[in-house]
Amino acid sequence: MLKLLKTRALVLRSRPLGERDRLLGLFTWEKGKLSAVAPGARKIKSKLAAGVDYFTCASLLLYKGKSLYTVTQLEIESTFRKISIDIKDYTYGMYFCELLEKLVEEGEPQPAIFNLLLDCWRCLDNGGVDREILARYYELKLLSLLGYHPHFKDCLYCGASRGPFFWSNNSGGVFCERCRPSNTAVFLISSGTQAIADRLINLSPAAKILNLRATEAQKKELQGFTRQFLLQWTGTGPFKGLSFLEKLNTQEKDKKRYNASE
């Protein structure tokens, strides 16, 4: 069996391992998610040190040991350093990594998901994007690529394109008034939010979000649906990054309200 693997990789996690090394959580082009030791990467003079930070895309040569891979060579392709400067950008970036780590199985190559995360990091690093919308874009796209296919376009049962529509977590899509199931919970979704969700699933690359406008109420509604869907279908959660972001967003809105009332 070939012990060496040359692959592109995104750094999802980077933790100190002993005094010299780092343990990396990687999402690789060739093998999907895997863990690797970067020997000596905690030393400032190490050749690996610069390439093992979060939000880095690198070309790696990995040696496969008994239980772990070891990084033997590393060449940085791109680093998105601006994400780490702002606490909100950083938290969103980390949430993207957390979600991928929780939802994707080890060892399955998923090039489309690789490109999605890279694209969303780039978009966050470029700045100017509505981060809440970017997070919903990432969640919906990721769920689609993993086979959950959230459906907002038209009625799942009869294909009617006119609302009002009702969202069902169990079916992962919307139904018209006539077809809405009676034996399971459904939630009325506003036509604006339904249209935004459908556009997010179909647009690419992430930078096109800059042309999309959403009200605070629509963003809140969409977050509610995506959150429920993530919890229901993936059985995974709570997401640390998401809870922290909610706290940050609430503090920011309270501050704005306070400033406006002065």
Q: How many other C-beta atoms can be found within 10 angstroms of the C-beta atom of residue 168?
A: 20
Contacts (Cβ under 8 Å, ≥6 apart) of 179:
155, 156, 157, 158, 160
Of 173 and 241, the one with the shorter C-beta distance to Zn ion is: 173
Buried b (16+ CB within 10 A) or exposed e, 207-218: eebeeeebeeeb
Q: Tell me which residue of 130, 135, 124 sits closest to 244, measured CA to CA.
A: 135
To Zn ion, the closest distance from the beta carbon of 160 in angstroms equals 4
- Binding mask 124-153 vs Zn ion (x if CB under 5 A, - otherwise)? ------------------------------
Residues 189-248 that bind Zn ion (CB under 5 A): none
> Residue 3 to residues 48, 68, 71, 87, 154: CA-CA distances in angstroms?
20, 11, 12, 39, 49
Of 51 and 173, the one with the shorter C-beta distance to Zn ion is: 173
What are the beta bridge partners of residue 82?
Answer: none
186 binds Zn ion (CB under 5 A): no
Distance CA 223, CA 233 (A): 15
To Zn ion, the closest distance from the beta carbon of 157 in angstroms equals 5
To Zn ion, the closest distance from the beta carbon of 101 in angstroms equals 37
To Zn ion, the closest distance from the beta carbon of 147 in angstroms equals 23
179 binds Zn ion (CB under 5 A): yes
160 binds Zn ion (CB under 5 A): yes
Of 161 and 251, the one with the shorter C-beta distance to Zn ion is: 161
Distance CA 250, CA 224 (A): 15
Contacts (Cβ under 8 Å, ≥6 apart) of 257:
none
Of 61 and 160, the one with the shorter C-beta distance to Zn ion is: 160
Cα pseudo-dihedral 184, 188, 194, 198, rounded to 10: 0
158 binds Zn ion (CB under 5 A): yes
155 binds Zn ion (CB under 5 A): yes
Of 18 and 159, the one with the shorter C-beta distance to Zn ion is: 159
Of 160 and 203, the one with the shorter C-beta distance to Zn ion is: 160
Piece of 60-68, 179-187, 214-222, 226-234 that binds Zn ion (CB under 5 A): 179-187
Of 134 and 176, the one with the shorter C-beta distance to Zn ion is: 176
Sign of CA dihedral 206, 212, 213, 217: negative
Alpha helices per DSSP H over the chain: 87-103, 111-126, 131-145, 191-202, 216-234, 240-261
Piece of 37-45, 55-63, 178-186, 198-206 that binds Zn ion (CB under 5 A): 178-186
Buried b (16+ CB within 10 A) or exposed e, 176-192: beeebeeeeebeebbee
To Zn ion, the closest distance from the beta carbon of 234 in angstroms equals 26
Residue selected from 63, 90, 157, 233 as contacting Zn ion according to rule CB under 5 A? 157
To Zn ion, the closest distance from the beta carbon of 174 in angstroms equals 9
Of 184 and 215, the one with the shorter C-beta distance to Zn ion is: 184
